[in-house]
Amino acid sequence: MAMALLFRSSVDSEARWKPQLNQLMPGLEVRVWPGVGDPADIGYALVWRPEPGLLASLPNLKLILSLGAGVDHILCDPHLPHHVPIVRLVDPYMTAAMSEYVVLQVLRLHRHDLDYRAQQSEGIWRELEQKNATERSVGILGFGALGQDAGRKLKGLGFDVALWSRSEKRADGLLGYAGGAGLEALLRRSEIVVCLLPLTAETEGILSRRTFARLPRGAVVVNAARGRHLVEQDLLAALASGHVSAAVLDVFRDEPLPSGHPFWRHPHIVVTPHIAAATNPSTAAPIILDTIRRFEEGRPLLNRVDPARGY
């Protein structure tokens, strides 16, 4: 009997996904949580932040498909069925969207856009000293699908880019640093640091006082990865001391960012609502269905997650 796919997203609607999935793979029955029906029918789960225990309640589950590039929202389930493979989403359009976000933020920081907005609100006409892009160092934490593309595009604009990864990496002539010693070296040279890491036990809280202290004075921080990478109080303290001059944050410990949170009205923090690279069904559904076909044909899975590593 053909197995059904269970769709469960805590942020996206079935109305955006079901027609795409049905059109591309008419033979695949799509059920939408909480309408699971007989749990034994479900072979595939396409999920964003599923309820803890939901995946374990599906006795014939064969494959878990993440609706996002990150999988921390799945791996945090204490009842996760560890024998079931997990595949994350790598969509070239999402990668391009993240690079747009990173390039946009780096350019506005590089070109003093926040300062000019503040000056305008006071009616001040004052020219600020402008470096060339080649004189501006950007450090990207994460040399994966997203970090690599953003790094390449920033380098194309002339920025002095370096990237950080766990293992030694080289790609497209991009400068790479690895491991603990590599992080120290990368931070010391980065006027703008961009976090594009997966959230794991090793990377949680990486944007901390210790990290900020290693950046040059006046550096800026962009976090487009996960809210738990950032120690919020440490950022506020670094901004208060002037060691960090500004931050652009797309992701937060609590989403939506609670009203009244100090980040909302901070003059040196830009808040965006987790939109750096949203999953788009029109480009993601074909990739997800290709994964299911590969699985059914016994071909190797692409972008399979290593739960022990955490990404």
Strand order in the sheet with 4-9: 30-32, 4-9, 42-48, 63-66, 86-87
144 binds ligand NDP (CB under 6 A): yes
CA nearest to 6, candidates 44, 62, 51, 41 = 44
CB of 254 to ligand NDP, least distance (A): 15
Residue 239, token pair as written in the block: 């901004």
Number of chain residues interacting with ligand NDP (CB under 6 A): 31
Number of chain residues interacting with ligand OXD (CB under 6 A): 5
Known active-site residue 274: yes
Which residues have C-beta within 8 Å of that of residue 310, sequence separation ≥ 6? 72, 75, 198, 199, 200, 201, 202
Distance CA 82, CA 76 (A): 12
CB of 304 to ligand OXD, least distance (A): 16
Left if phi > 0, otherwise alpha if psi is -120 to 50, otherwise beta: which for 265? alpha
Are 173 and 197 spatial neighbours (Cβ–Cβ below 8 Å)? no
142 binds ligand OXD (CB under 6 A): no
Residue 140, token pair as written in the block: 């990207």
70 binds ligand NDP (CB under 6 A): yes
Left if phi > 0, otherwise alpha if psi is -120 to 50, otherwise beta: which for 242? left
CA 193 to the chain's CA centroid: 15
Given the residues 226, 229, 253, 265, select the one marked as catalytic: 226
Given the residues 16, 253, 274, 294, select the one marked as catalytic: 274
70 binds ligand OXD (CB under 6 A): yes
CB of 22 to ligand NDP, least distance (A): 26
Site residues (CB under 6 A) for ligand NDP, limited to 274-303: 274, 276-277
Q: Nearer to ligand OXD by C-beta: 145 or 247? A: 145
β-sheet bridge partners, residue 8 = 47
CB of 187 to ligand NDP, least distance (A): 12
Taking CB under 6 A as the criterion, the residue among 5, 31, 54, 68 binding ligand OXD is 68
139 binds ligand NDP (CB under 6 A): no
Q: Nearer to ligand OXD by C-beta: 245 or 303? A: 303
Active-site residue set: 226, 274
Contact residues toward ligand NDP (CB under 6 A) are 68-70, 98, 142-147, 164-167, 169, 196-200, 202-203, 224-226, 250-251, 274, 276-277, 311
